[in-house]
């Protein structure tokens, strides 16, 4: 890859050299370099640089111009070039339900809350208990359960939303249909662990998805079935906590840790949260909220496996229960109740003591069911 300063000089030089030809190249009859080049008349590294400079809202349009552009915009290389140019944009994506509870949709909003749009409808039937993972500028929706005529149907379906092209597609199905399970990304691989299966039984089964091959493979199972749990990644390892195990009475405080290098699980006893209603990874720490203490943040430091408590102020919202979001390295708390004049709470872990809490203008159009942050 040409260095940034060199690329800028070459862009200017080539644009000047070919400026008289640019208006006409679309009318030419398939010159040789139009078959192999992204922009005829420009070296590919400069053409890629130009595409990477476009704001996110224009990328879906560019992706429809031709297959070559669409393929590059979808690629990992595009994300690398975009990061080098400083053009990565951070957007929050909300799955919201109407206040009357009759419908739901995904919507996107930039980190300043000034621009938003409604996403295309997600494929498949409406589900609950599905898993979400963000990876490489894409959102994966996995599994879940749908109810039709009183009959519950767990799913193994996996759908992907590409933020750069504003479109959904189907991926390879999981080996096991599941819902209320844990999932996360570790070193470019997507893991799905535990949950409930097709017969309503709790699962110890675990599997991993390889985005390069679009395929799922089983890995070593948990030592006990686990459901209602969640997962996160620290130091290249997979942490599973929260929820319940069918082998224990009540909620499990055991943390299951998986090492991809050793292909093995180990346990950390009495270190985890239990009935977690919201969680998010904030920098190198995990932030949780438990059902029994929903005006308190529990913050986990994996370096020393320690927990600390942070009270949630009443300012902004007196609601009990929140969904978590991340924007600009700060934690957002979206209330689960519709209250007149309520504001989104914001927690800044790097602020001076006493000024960690504030409010944010970011707010979904309805009640927040789920939120993820995508950089693309």
373 found inside a domain? no
pLDDT (0 to 100) of residue 38 = 83
26 found inside a domain? yes
Instruction: Detail the DSSP E strand segments found in 2-135.
Output: 90-97, 104-110, 116-118, 131-135
Q: How confident is the model at residue 39 (pLDDT cuts 50, 70, 90)?
A: confident
Mean pLDDT over 126-150 rounds to: 93
Does residue 180 sit in the same domain as residue 259?
yes
Mean pLDDT over 112-130 rounds to: 88
Cβ atoms within 10 Å of 359's Cβ, excluding its own: 16
**196-239 per-position pLDDT tens digit:** 999 889 999 999 999 999 999 999 999 999 999 999 999 999 99
Whether the per-residue pLDDT at 33 is higher than 80: the answer is no
Which of 65-79, 99-113, 268-282 has the highest mean predicted lDDT (pLDDT)? 65-79
Q: Are 247 and 229 in contact (CB under 8 A)?
A: no
What is the rounded end-to-end Cα distance, in angstroms, of the chain? 20
Domains identified in the chain, total number: 3
Q: Which residue has the tokens 């927040």?
A: 368
15 found inside a domain? yes
For 15, the domain range is 4-84
Whether the per-residue pLDDT at 319 is higher than 70: the answer is no
pTM of the model: 0.86
CA-to-CA distance for 118 and 18, rounded, in angstroms?
39
Which is more confidently placed, 9 or 200? 200
Q: How confident is the model at residue 148 (pLDDT cuts 50, 70, 90)?
A: confident
57 found inside a domain? yes
**237-289 per-position pLDDT tens digit:** 999 998 887 655 556 788 999 999 999 999 988 777 888 999 999 999 999 99
**322-372 per-position pLDDT tens digit:** 999 999 999 999 988 777 677 899 999 999 989 999 999 898 888 899 999
Does residue 192 sit in the same domain as residue 310?
no
Does residue 74 sit in the same domain as residue 187?
no
């Amino acid at each position: 890859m040409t260095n940034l300063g060199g690329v800028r000089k070459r862009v200017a030089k080539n644009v000047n050299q070919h400026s008289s030809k640019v208006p006409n190249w679309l009318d030419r009859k398939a010159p040789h370099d139009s078959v192999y080049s992204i922009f005829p008349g420009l070296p590919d590294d400069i053409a890629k640089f130009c595409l990477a400079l476009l704001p996110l809202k224009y990328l879906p349009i560019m992706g429809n111009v031709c297959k070559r552009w669409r393929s590059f915009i979808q690629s990992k290389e595009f994300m690398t070039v975009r990061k080098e140019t400083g053009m990565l944009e951070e957007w929050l994506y909300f799955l919201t339900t109407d206040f009357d509870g009759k419908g739901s949709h995904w919507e996107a909003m930039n980190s300043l809350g000034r621009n938003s749009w409604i996403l295309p409808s997600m494929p498949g039937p409406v589900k609950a208990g599905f898993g979400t993972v963000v990876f490489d500028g894409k959102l994966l929706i996995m599994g879940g359960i749908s109810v039709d005529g009183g009959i519950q149907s767990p799913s193994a379906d996996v759908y992907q939303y590409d933020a750069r092209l504003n479109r959904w597609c189907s991926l390879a199905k999981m080996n096991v249909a599941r819902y209320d399970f844990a999932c996360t990304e570790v070193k470019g691989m997507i893991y799905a662990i535990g949950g409930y299966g097709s017969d309503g039984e709790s699962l110890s089964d675990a599997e991993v998805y390889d985005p390069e091959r679009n395929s799922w493979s089983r890995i070593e199972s948990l030592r006990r079935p686990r459901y209602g749990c969640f997962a996160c990644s620290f130091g290249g390892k997979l942490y599973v906590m929260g929820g319940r195990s069918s082998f224990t009475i009540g909620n499990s405080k055991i943390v299951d840790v998986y090492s991809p290098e050793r292909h093995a699980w180990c346990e950390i006893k009495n270190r985890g949260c239990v009935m977690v209603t919201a969680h998010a990874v904030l920098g190198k720490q995990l932030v949780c909220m438990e059902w029994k203490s929903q005006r308190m943040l529990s913050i986990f430091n994996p370096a020393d496996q320690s927990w600390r408590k942070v009270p949630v102020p009443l300012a902004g919202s007196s609601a009990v229960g929140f969904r978590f979001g991340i924007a600009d390295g700060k934690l957002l708390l979206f209330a689960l109740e519709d209250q007149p004049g309520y504001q989104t709470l914001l927690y800044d872990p790097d602020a001076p003591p006493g000024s960690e809490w504030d409010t944010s203008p970011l707010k979904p159009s309805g009640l927040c069911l789920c939120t993820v942050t995508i950089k693309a």
